[in-house]
Structure 1
Amino acid sequence: MAAGVNYIKQLNATYEKFTEDNRLNPTHISLYMALFQLWNAAHFMRSFHVIRGEVMLLSKIGSKTTYHRCIKELDYWGYLQYNPSHNPFKGSMICMTIFGTTDRQVMYPRRTNIGTSNEPAVVSINKPIQTLENYKNMGKHNFIENSKFKKLRTNKTKQPVGQFLDHLKISTDKNYNEPL
């Protein structure tokens, strides 16, 4: 594990850098965040391997050209070190730059004017690690739940109209020529 990397402090320090750096666009930030999640899954090891397709999927980058341009720029600008392997079975090596370090609980002052309290927010470092496997399982679970909902909705709409008549307590033998 990289010495003393705190998830929250690192993330907040990185966002501060993002705010000050006008060279970045949303694609750079999305790519960095995908790499940050993979770094977290690797328990903040000093360096870790990544597979381009997986990172592109997580960052929602659809173009290999855009991916390579952004990762090289993040490397050049000091957000990470990128060592391409040129071997699809090995994956490229990434070494993330550590911006914030501590092993203890971190307190950050609130930066908004919402509310009346100016007390610092307490953030626990005992957050469960989000892994790619958990992310994929969550997507699969949502897909299954949505499929069940669609199936249920489809079954309801295919029922004959007569089955709903008893539920609605209406009569089918009305004479519409008679006045109300």
Structure 2
Amino acid sequence: MENLKLLTGFFQAIENDFRIGTTHIAIFAALLEFRAGKDFINPIQAYSIEIQHIAKIVSPKTYHKCIKELDSYGYILYVPTKNKNKRSSIYFHVE
């Protein structure tokens, strides 16, 4: 139920945000799907390839650009790691 609330809030927030495109939406939805598989924890710990697979995004460059934009626009908090053997943290703004 919380994921549905987050998704609904996201769609309401982006309604007039011209910066958000379909790739951003795909990533946000994939993050929620990934989170659902992890018992709705916050933050989630994920490798980019795991989210790319769910979102059907092939290019790592596109993924990183869009997830960083989602962070800078305030839709998520993205804490990347430079260590390829460690997952990045993605926080959702929950009430």
Q: TM-score, normalised by structure 1?
A: 0.49
How do residues 86-125 of structure 1 correspond to structure 2 at under 5 angstroms? 86-98=82-94, 101=95
Aligned residues of 2:43 and 2:92 also touching (Cα < 8 A)? yes
Corresponding residue for residue 52 of structure 1 = 48
Corresponding residue for residue 77 of structure 1 = 73
Letter in 2 for 1:73: E
Deviation at 1:71, TM superposition (A): 0.6
Displacement over 4 Å in runs of 4+: none
Give the match's secondary structure for 1:46: coil
Mapped to 2, the partners of 1:15 and 1:26 lie a distance apart of: 12
Query: Which runs of 5 or more structure 1 residues have no equivalent in the other structure?
Result: 102-180
Deviation at 1:92, TM superposition (A): 0.6
Deviation at 1:67, TM superposition (A): 0.8
Deviation at 1:91, TM superposition (A): 1.0
- Structure with a larger share of its residues in helix: 2
Corresponding residue for residue 169 of structure 1 = none
Query: Which runs of 5 or more structure 2 residues have no equivalent in the other structure?
Result: none
Deviation at 1:70, TM superposition (A): 0.4
Give the match's secondary structure for 2:15: helix
Paired-residue identity, %:
33
**Rg comparison, structure with higher value:** 1
Deviation at 1:80, TM superposition (A): 0.7
Mapped to 1, the partners of 2:3 and 2:45 lie a distance apart of: 19
Give the number of the structure with larger relative contact order, counting CA–CA contacts within 8 Å between residues 6 or more apart. Answer: 2
Corresponding residue for residue 32 of structure 1 = 28
